[in-house]
Amino acid sequence: MAEPMQVEVVSPERVLYSGEATMVVTRTLDGGEIAFQAGHVPFLGALDDNHTRVFLPSGEVHDIAVHGGFVEVGENKVSILSDAAELSDEIDVDRAHRAKQRAEDRLREEHDAEAIAALSRAHARLRATGNFSL
């Protein structure tokens, strides 16, 4: 079994997770997905809207929709400081599907940054809940 490390996932509203984990997988801007385990070299990166997974020593996985922010790794600790984040079991899947549809409809008419951002947030929410489909 992998050695545990300390993990914190924090949004401006609250602490979503604080405790031990064996691995964290998240997505950085222009860097793709990255996994962190105990002993990882120091790292600092900006986060994209993504489905972050926190793997607990028990084998349980916390699925979290993270909307921007930063990840910092150092001294056996991973800290995710998000602009906004949601635990998968708190996401309204129907609402996320409707938001995805609205953003896709807007993008068919014109490409604007707000619609692209809305679509990215909807994708992160749906991936975190396991309800993502193209």
Q: pLDDT category, 1, cuts 50, 70, 90?
A: low
pLDDT of the residue at 44: 96
pLDDT of the residue at 133: 63
Q: What percent of the chain has pLDDT above 90? A: 62
Q: How many CB atoms lie within 10 A of CB 115?
A: 18
pLDDT of the residue at 125: 87
Domain spanning 5-88: CATH superfamily:
F0F1 ATP synthase delta/epsilon subunit, N-terminal (2.60.15.10)
Let me know if 122 is exposed, middle or buried by CB neighbors in 10 A (0-12, 13-18, 19+). Answer: buried
Summarize the confidence of residues 68-83 as an average pLDDT: 96
Residues 6+ apart with CB under 8 A from 95: none
Phi, psi of 11 (to 5 degrees): -115, 170
Residues 6+ apart with CB under 8 A from 33: 25, 26, 27, 50
Residues of the chain with CATH 2.60.15.10: 5-88
Let me know if 88 is exposed, middle or buried by CB neighbors in 10 A (0-12, 13-18, 19+). Answer: buried
| Average pLDDT score, the chain | 91
Q: pLDDT category, 120, cuts 50, 70, 90?
A: confident
Residues 6+ apart with CB under 8 A from 124: 49, 50, 51, 65, 66, 67
pLDDT of the residue at 105: 87
pLDDT of the residue at 2: 76
3 neighbors 38 (Cβ within 8 angstroms):
yes
pLDDT of the residue at 70: 97
Q: What percent of the chain has pLDDT above 70? A: 97
Q: How many CB atoms lie within 10 A of CB 96?
A: 23
